[in-house]
Structures are given as structure tokens and as C-alpha cells.
Structure 1
Amino acid sequence: MENYLFEATVHNEEGVEGTAYVEGEDKLSVTVSSPTSDKPGTNPEELFGLALTTCLNATIRSLLKARGLKNQSRVTAKVQLRREENGVGYYFKVSVFASIEGLELDRADAIVQSADKRCPVAKLTQNASTITLKTVPYNN
């Protein structure tokens, strides 16, 4: 039997025109809509951005704590839906920007790059040609 720390079962039966939800009482349920429509709701682009920024920043904060640092950190992602050059299909172009307050850029970058190798969501996309990660100065 495989050991795990957490498991979620997530359902979507209507694509990007309906509801997606996490199985269980008082769990997340969201209205989904196409990112190209003006209908209310979220979409895969936003959900992916939330998952990646949350996980990567949690990993950065864990590494800071392990080093005895209490610096604030921030991760921002710009997720674009783009059409394949051949006109058939789509892909995500993701630009991720991470920053750590009060650290020199090279030291902050070392922590960010280490977090990128440890973050479970980032591991799913490692070596993806459509994702870039850049460490930037922390601005309030």
C-alpha cells in the first residue's frame, strides 16, 4: 500500500461551462467558464496560477524558515492561453516572478531556484518550454 500525506478527489463533469468541485463536506466548489467568455467563474488558467503560486511560495517560506529567516516572499504568475502556431490546439505560456524581501537578488534567486526544485506543483512542469521563472526585487 502506498503511503501519502493527503489525497483530494476533484470532479468536473461540464468542462469550462459549469461547476468543478472537491469531493467532501465543506470543500471547494467553483463555477467555471471559458477564459474567452464574459461569463462569471474561474478557469484552468486561473486555477493553475493559484496552485503554482501558492505551492511555490509555501516552499520558499519553508526554506526561509529552515534558514532562520523571517523575510516576506511573494510569487506572481501571468498565465496566458495561446493558440498553437499551426492553429490547432492551445497551450499555456506562464511567466512566474518570485521575490524575497530584504535579500540580495542572487541570494534570493538561490532560494527561489531551490524551491522550484522542491515544490510539488513546480515539479509537474519542470523542463516545460512554456514556463519561465525569474527572481525579481521585492516591492511593497
Structure 2
Amino acid sequence: MTTRTATARYEGLGKDGKGHVSTQSTVLDNNPYGFGTRFGDEPGTNPEELIAAAHASCFTMALSFALAGAGFTEGTLDTKAAVQLDKDGDGFTVTRSDLTLTATVPGIEAAQFDEIAAGAKAGCPISKVLNCEITLQHTLN
């Protein structure tokens, strides 16, 4: 079992509050977040951006391991995740995560790549935790 941690602190309430988020690895170290970083253009991060980073990196790593398991030994995978937050009654819901992948895997056939990529999308741990639509578009060079 592997456990990773992050912490968040929010001072003040609502739109006037300001938060800071840190991760165990210190990749994020007291990074600001709040209403302005989530819904405006203030510098800092937000939960949806962090989910997008987690989903892009998780899917890409899952695909890398699946391709290696299928016997491929080299390649390049570039993934962008776009996480959408929509108003839902009085609150908000993450409604989708759109993965866009550009891949170069020498020697792979398109149909085999499609199958492996779909399996990685469904099987990556972050895909499994998200309760939203997940799409995958890809370009195989």
C-alpha cells in the first residue's frame, strides 16, 4: 500500500478567504489558492488544475507501462488533461476530464494502440476515482 499526503489551509471565509496548499513531496509548498485562482486570473493553483495534473500524469504512466508490457521498448507520450467544473444547483461538480494524447511508438499498429490506450484510460487509478465523463482523443505519429 502507498499513501501520499497533501495539506490545505484556508484563512477567512468564502470569496474573501485565501488558502495555501502543500504536498508531501514539496512540489507544492504553501502555494496560494482561493476564489481568485479558481474562478479568476489570480496567480496560484486550484483543485481542478491539480486533478488535471494528476489525471494526465497517471494516465500517461499507465499507458507507458501497458505499452512496455506489450513489448514496446521506446516511445514518447504527451498528454493534456482538461478538467471541467460546472455549476450544479447551489454548488459545483467536476463533470468531465478530457485527455488529449500525442504519441510516438515505433512499430505499433493503430488498432493495437487504440486498444492499449483505452485500457490505460479505464485502468489508471485517477480515472477510477473520478466520477465524471472521461474522454480520450489521440494522435499516433
Q: Same fold (TM over 0.5)?
A: yes
Structure 1: runs of 5+ lacking an equivalent:
none
Higher strand share: 2
Report if the CA contact (8 A) 2:127-2:134 is conserved: no
Q: Give % identity.
A: 23
TM-score, normalised by the number of residues in structure 1: 0.77
Q: Of Structure 1 and Structure 2, which has the larger fraction of its residues in helix?
A: 2
TM-score by length of 2: 0.76
What count of residue pairs does the alignment treat as equivalent? 129
Match of 1:10 in 2: 6
* 2:85 is aligned with 1:81: yes
**Structure 1 segments of 4 or more deviating over 4 A?**
none
1:36 to 36, 39, 50: 39
Distance change >3 Å, CA 114–CA 32, structure 1 → 2: same
Distance 1:41 1:27, change over 3 A: closer
Q: CA RMSD in A?
A: 2.4
Could you tell me which amino acid in structure 1 is paired with residue 135 of structure 2? Answer: L
Tell me: CA distance 1:27–1:96, structure 2 relative to 1, closer, same or farther (3 Å). closer
